Amino acid sequence: AKTTKKIVLRMECTECKYRKQIPLKRCKHFELGGDKKRK
């Protein structure tokens, strides 16, 4: 069995309620936004 699932972003249009699903690659840890790496 696979340990991870593909992360899927569900985007929804506010005007027509159209849903679009954008798949990302497999990963165990997923963070939305997250602070950008700075020098």
pLDDT of residue 33 exceeding 80: no
Instruction: Say what the pLDDT of residue 32 is.
Output: 73
Instruction: Say what the pLDDT of residue 24 is.
Output: 82
Domains of the chain by residue range: 1-26
Is residue 11 classed exposed, middle or buried when 0-12, 13-18 and 19+ CB atoms within 10 A define those classes?
Answer: exposed
Instruction: Say what the pLDDT of residue 37 is.
Output: 67
Higher pLDDT, 33 or 12: 12
Per-residue pLDDT reduced to its tens digit, 5-26: 888 888 888 888 788 888 888 8
What lies within 8 Å, CB to CB, of 26 at 6+ separation is: 2, 4, 5, 6, 7
Q: What is the pTM of this model?
A: 0.44
What lies within 8 Å, CB to CB, of 2 at 6+ separation is: 26
